[in-house]
Amino acid sequence: MIIDFLTQLDWGQLFLIGLILLLSTFVVRVSGFGGSLVAIPLLAPLIGLGAAPPLMNLFGATNFTTVVIQKWQQLTFKDVWRLALMNVLITPIGIYTLNFVSENFLRIFLGLVCISYAGLRMLNVPFPKLERPIWQLVYGFISGIFSGTFGVGGVPAVLYADTQPWEPERFRLNMFSFFAVTTYVNIVTRFLAGQYNWQIITYWVASLPFLFLGLWLGERASQRVNPNQFKWLVLILLVVLGGRLIYSVVG
């Protein structure tokens, strides 16, 4: 039975998925952002927008587990608990959106999200300081929709964090805290929604060696690569990937 299952696998596709997830891990380790934004536009044409987000949730949980083990005593939730709570509550709506909205439309929208996000970060658009707690709920709502539909709920979360007067280390730990909660809960939500199957589990298991290789390469590169220059490379890549997603539908 196991031999029959292994012979039916598309090893070429598994290798491509592994390379994409290696790139995603490398990008996060060096730049601190953009992992899902890089991976989802590449995975969507390969395995579909329905399978890419749940796979990225499993992959992200594995990645963030290594961070939680190392830094659990430093994680703090007081700055982001409303953001995380709203994300968790709204993610199911985003998940069920996939049942009613055309994948081509979602690909175009995701492409626009990638390009818009990269443009905002490139131009260093100054965001107003949002001090009222209600704004966490607003951004958390958008984050939940993005998490469920595209698996990129980190985009609104990071944009909210950009409005806060947090020093870099506090910024980083708050984002780790946010993802440590939402990633695991989103996996449970997707499981209850029936989005996990043996194919996605196979993709995840086969990609684990690429994940650890990406962590190792990213750790080494982070000590040698200029973070600001690499950030610009990632943002340019996001523009290219966003344009590619849109072209794949309308081209």
Contact 151, 57 (CB under 8 A): yes
Closest CA to 182 of 53, 43, 73: 53
Residue 166 predicted with pLDDT over 70: yes
Domain carrying residue 153: 2-250
Choice among 36-50, 66-80, 171-185, 237-251 with the minimum mean pLDDT: 66-80
User: What is the structure's pLDDT at 74?
Assistant: 67
Cα–Cα dist 89/173, whole Å: 22
Neighbours of 84 (CB within 10 A): 24
Closest CA to 196 of 55, 96, 42, 91: 55
- 30-89, pLDDT tens digit by residue? 776 677 888 888 898 888 888 888 998 898 888 777 766 776 666 677 888 999 999 999
Q: Could you tell me which residue, 172 or 95, shows the higher pLDDT?
A: 95
User: What is the structure's pLDDT at 3?
Assistant: 57
Please report how the helices 168-192 and 154-161 are oriented relative to each other, as an axis angle in degrees rounded to 10.
160
The mean pLDDT value for 208-233 works out to 84
The mean pLDDT value for 120-136 works out to 84
Q: Could you tell me which residue, 24 or 35, shows the higher pLDDT?
A: 24
In the chain, the number of structural domains is: 1
| pLDDT-above-70 percentage for the chain | 92
User: What is the structure's pLDDT at 32?
Assistant: 67
- 4-13, pLDDT tens digit by residue? 555 676 778 8
- 196-205, pLDDT tens digit by residue? 988 899 899 9
